[in-house]
């Protein structure tokens, strides 16, 4: 569960210090993003394309998100 106030972002009652409060948005129950990156729960992805990243509205096959370079399932790259 995500929460936001003027002091920060919280995930399951834990302060998410890395998140940018002004640009943070929840994409679904697993993924979120801000101007600095995309996160799976509170773990930031490395080398992700912010402009093309999208999550699927429902789990579709073996994947639940993608960017122009990769498909993802539960925060991991699917080959």
The rounded average pLDDT for each run of 10 residues, N- to C-terminus, in the chain (79 residues) is: 90 93 92 95 93 83 86 89
pLDDT score recorded for residue 1? 86
Distance CA 46, CA 54 (A): 15
Whole-model pTM? 0.85
Q: Please enumerate, as own/partner, the contacts of 1-8 that have beta carbons within 8 Å and a separation of 24 or more.
A: 2/26, 2/32
pLDDT score recorded for residue 60? 62
């Amino acid at each position: 569960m995500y929460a936001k106030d003027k002091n920060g972002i919280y995930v399951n009652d834990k302060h998410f210090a890395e998140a940018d409060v002004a640009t943070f948005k929840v994409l679904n129950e697993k993924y979120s993003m801000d101007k600095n990156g995309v996160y799976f729960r509170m773990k930031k992805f490395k080398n992700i394309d912010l402009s093309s990243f999208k999550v699927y509205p429902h789990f579709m096959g073996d994947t639940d998100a993608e960017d122009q370079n990769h498909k993802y399932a539960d925060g991991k790259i699917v080959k």
